[in-house]
Chains A and B, each alone.
Chain A
């Protein structure tokens, strides 16, 4: 039972979060910030999510290749 639960949890973690949880966190934070900018500040921030994605990817790659992941 415990094994099955562990396997189930590992699947969903790997499925949703993947190898680097910080990338997922940055993507979600960038989406939240985009929504805030659009709905609160009235800024059509279409550029924010792509920029955040590129930055998150670059940061993740740098940490992975320097062994600090």
Chain B
């Protein structure tokens, strides 16, 4: 067992990184969208993952992970930029803090037609799909790590132990931090989620395009703060511009909470 300790620790750390990335997506979707659909997305991803592992076995390492990273990364980056855009406009006062007037919701309210969604038992496809993609991609990476490390060291059991420990530790951490995170103001949380999605999306998307990040996964430790700083900079700048334009437009007219400069 002592001889296997380095392998267990290595797999633990590698898998913990992947599990934290999946946890970020799960918390983002659950806290800002809906927990039920988030858990459904997570469960569906785990089932698909189990089926893939069961059917493919060790040949799973032949899956085009790079292409998967490219697609998932591109979508997450686009989602993240959308979230950031809205959160910045709200923080700067250009958009109402509680805005439920997205094109989709307007369509649904007008047409009252979402039978496919209701029939499948998923009420929030956004949360479901976001979680599904994140958990499936990270789950696949965990499986890759276990097979690669376990096979190279001829000790698949120790690699599985390391991965299982990582997933359990990260899951427990997620349950613990869930309650405190729920008390954070809604727009601040959406701002944070936008930063995380943009950072992870940029990271995975670029990796999928063939980029080698300086420092590999550690690049995220730089990328996340940089995205946060740039976004905060935009919010501060726009708030100043908004105040100046309001001051210039005297006599003052009260800014309606529901007013929105653009859609």
Chain A positions within 8 Å of B, measured between CB atoms, are 3-4, 6-8, 10-11, 13-20, 23-24, 27-28, 31-32, 34-35, 38-39, 44-46, 48-50, 53-54, 56-58, 60-61, 63-65, 67, 69
Contacts and interface: CB of A to CB of B under 8 A. Distances in A.
Highest count of chain B CB atoms <10 Å: which of A8, A35, A58, A65: A65
Interface of B: 70, 73-75, 77-79, 81-82, 84-86, 88-89, 92, 94, 102-104, 107-108, 111, 113-116, 125-126, 129, 198, 202, 205-206, 208-214, 219, 223, 226-227, 230-231, 234, 238, 241-242, 261-263
Given A8-B116, A16-B78, A50-B223, 5 more contacts: A10-B104, A18-B82, A27-B78, A31-B73, A57-B81
A64 B85 contact: yes
Contacts of B85: 18-20, 23, 57, 60-61, 64
Contacts of B219: 46
Contacts of B261: 64-65, 67
B106 to A, nearest CB: 8
Contacts of B74: 27-28, 31
B84 A57 contact: yes
Nearest to B260: A64
Contacts of A67: 261-262
Given A15-B126, A44-B211, A57-B84, A3 B206 contact: no
A8 B227 CA distance: 33
B227 A10 contact: no
Highest count of chain B CB atoms <10 Å: which of A15, A17, A67: A15
B211 A14 contact: no
B198 A53 contact: yes
